[in-house]
């Protein structure tokens, strides 16, 4: 549900906590990862922690499938997301020119 979280959460409950954990999972600071993990477990519960870890891990893998095969974004998704992709900088990613919409 979007809209219930504090402003720092981006409008998503515990959003800042989840962003911190996802960032730490891909980072290389073990202490920060442990702290982010404990924070989620304490605030959201152990099941939320392991489900969050599962999603972060899966997308760390699925990104590689997309990037290594060179699939483009579907037309309908590209059109629906054009505004915010430009706005948040996705179009500036290194691969955007050859793997983005219409590549």
The nearest distance, CB 19 to another protein, in angstroms, is: 5
Tell the smallest beta-carbon distance from residue 87 to another protein (Å): 13
> How far is the C-alpha of 57 from the C-alpha of 64, rounded, in Å?
11
Check if the beta carbon of residue 17 is closer than 8 Å to that of residue 45.
Answer: no
Q: Does 83 bind another protein (CB under 8 A)?
A: no
The H or E element that residue 12 is part of is none
Q: Which residues bind another protein (CB under 8 A)?
A: 1-2, 10, 12-15, 18-19, 21-23, 25-26, 33-34, 37, 41, 44-74, 90, 93-96, 98-100
């Amino acid at each position: 549900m979007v809209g219930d979280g504090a402003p720092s959460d981006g409008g998503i409950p515990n959003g800042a906590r989840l962003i911190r954990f996802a960032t730490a999972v891909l980072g290389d600071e073990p202490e920060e990862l442990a702290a982010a993990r404990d924070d989620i477990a304490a605030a959201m519960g152990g099941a939320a922690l392991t489900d969050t870890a599962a999603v972060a891990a899966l997308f760390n893998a699925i990104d590689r499938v997309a990037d290594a095969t060179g699939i483009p974004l579907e037309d309908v998704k590209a059109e629906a997301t054009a505004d915010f992709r430009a706005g948040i900088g996705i179009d500036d990613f290194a691969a955007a020119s050859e793997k983005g919409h219409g590549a």
